[in-house]
Amino acid sequence: MWHSNSRLLALVKLLALSAGLMVSVAHAGPPWIAAKVVKVEADKSRVVLDHQRIELVKMDAMTMPFKVLPGVKLDGFKPGDKVRFMVELKNDHLVIDAMELAK
């Protein structure tokens, strides 16, 4: 009897381990940053955001302009919109490579 119990215990441990792995994978998603749109300058591919902390460059929350990459369409955004975005460093400058309305 102890034998089947130990197998069950091993199975439980395995399940707990894989559940833990799934949780860590889910938490390792893209680094979205929350923000509020302050100003949209679609003609200049620029948007001013009131953004939360950006871990990539250890920048605390602030309001600042960002350039957006050509793939990012700014037409659908207006001041006051709550959004989330992702940035990358290009020639030492932060540029937005993805942005969408926050749910």
Chain contacts with Cu ion (rule: CB under 5 A): 59, 62, 64
Q: Closer to Cu ion at the Cβ: 44 or 93?
A: 93
Of 15, 9, 4, 57, whose CA–CA distance to 33 is shortest? 57
Q: Quick one: tokens of 57?
A: 């460059």
Minimum CB–partner distance for residue 34 and Cu ion (Å): 13
Q: Which amino acid is at 92?
A: D
Minimum CB–partner distance for residue 78 and Cu ion (Å): 21
**8 A C-beta contact, residue 85 and residue 64:** no
Minimum CB–partner distance for residue 62 and Cu ion (Å): 4
Minimum CB–partner distance for residue 80 and Cu ion (Å): 19
Distance CA 35, CA 40 (A): 13
Distance CA 11, CA 22 (A): 16
Q: Closer to Cu ion at the Cβ: 16 or 64?
A: 64
Q: Closer to Cu ion at the Cβ: 20 or 41?
A: 41
Q: Closer to Cu ion at the Cβ: 22 or 64?
A: 64
Distance CA 18, CA 52 (A): 32
Point out the residue whose Cβ comes nearest to Cu ion: 64
